[in-house]
């Protein structure tokens, strides 16, 4: 089952990107690029969700369903 987690991505003055989420408390990921940050955030989200399921406290996330919007980041 795939679920949607909303991320907030911020470019920090230090030149790195920071991802946080209101959907999964404790999710914090940092990377040199947006792609790297998203990959790290995905791994962190999986681990946090697994821990929450073990504690019988999973967050209520929306499933992907048949269609959903996804912002695609491209460089140009």
CATH number at residue 53: 3.30.160.250
- Give me the residue label for tokens 């030149």: 15
Find the domain containing 21 and state its range.
3-63
Structural domain includes residue 73: no
pLDDT score, position 19 = 98
Number of domains present in the structure of the chain: 1
Q: What is the pLDDT of residues 25-75, one digit of tens each?
A: 999 999 999 999 999 999 999 999 999 999 998 888 999 999 989 888 888
Provide the whole-model pTM. 0.88
CA distances in angstroms from 56 to 23, 43, 44, listed in the order given? 16, 20, 18
């Amino acid at each position: 089952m795939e679920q949607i987690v909303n991320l907030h991505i911020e470019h920090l003055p230090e030149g790195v990107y920071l991802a946080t989420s209101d959907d999964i408390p404790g999710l914090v990921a940092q990377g040199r690029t947006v792609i790297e940050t998203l990959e790290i955030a995905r791994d962190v989200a999986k681990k946090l969700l697994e821990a929450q399921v073990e504690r019988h406290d999973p967050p209520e996330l929306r499933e992907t369903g048949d269609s959903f919007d996804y912002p695609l980041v491209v460089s140009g």
